[in-house]
Amino acid sequence: MAVRVARGDETATRVLDVAQRLVQVRGFNGFSYADVAAELGITKAALHYHFASKSALGAALIDRYGARLSQNLARISSADRSAVARLRGYAAVYRDLLRQERLCLCGMLAAEYQTLPADMQSAVTRFFTLNEAWLEAVLREGAAAGEIRLAGPPADAAVALVAGLEGAMLVTRPFGDMARFDTVARLLLDGLTGTLVPAGD
């Protein structure tokens, strides 16, 4: 599927920005090309020039989202030497999305997984694998340094942490109460570190 996103292509970037917000609020099946075109004041033909199909747009969204995640993880790793601080920084990424009244892009897509094209399904899986691999490394290092208490393999704890934070976002959304997310994040991290994460960190 053709995806035309040249460096410095402002229209394509705006399309991705609008589509990402719509997915994070409504889900992938909850918006159409007409919605994006109307919001940007362009024609659907202009959208098809950059993204030949909605599936191509979706794949480009996940690729960009994954690249931004990699940058965030690199930033967290470079800023914080301790495993506890890195885990707090990771949870803060989810919290920041909620404060913007959005959910994780790939968390939304995972809920619609069975209806997604195969290339998007693969991209969603890669996204979560990236998260889990980074967390596994942090947890392994933290356990070796005595910062982290693990009842099993680091890989299992990584899966549980991703699932817990994604779930916390979902159950927080209907209530609009950030304290719910903070409580879940605090309990998840306390179970690993024995250190309570202050609400709002």
pLDDT bracket for residue 2 (50, 70, 90): very low
- The residues, any chain, with a CB within 8 Å of residue 147's CB and separated by 6 or more, are 82, 83, 84, 193
Q: What pLDDT, in 10s, does the model give residues 53-111? A: 999 999 999 999 999 999 999 999 998 789 999 999 999 999 999 999 999 999 999 99
* Homologous superfamily of 10-193: Tetracycline Repressor, domain 2 (1.10.357.10)
Phi-psi region of 200 (alpha: psi -120 to 50; beta: other; left: phi over 0): left
Residue 20's φ and ψ, nearest 5 degrees, are: -65, -45
Helix runs in 27-111, H state only = 33-40, 44-50, 54-79, 83-99, 105-111
The percentage of the chain sitting over the pLDDT mark of 90, rounded to a whole number, equals 86
Pair 34, 87: CB distance under 8 Å? no
Q: In this model, does residue 14 exceed pLDDT 60? A: yes
Q: What pLDDT, in 10s, does the model give residues 83-92? A: 999 999 999 9
Q: What is the pTM of this model?
A: 0.87
Q: How far apart are the first and last CA of the chain?
A: 42
**Which value, in Å, is the radius of gyration of the alpha carbons in the chain?**
18
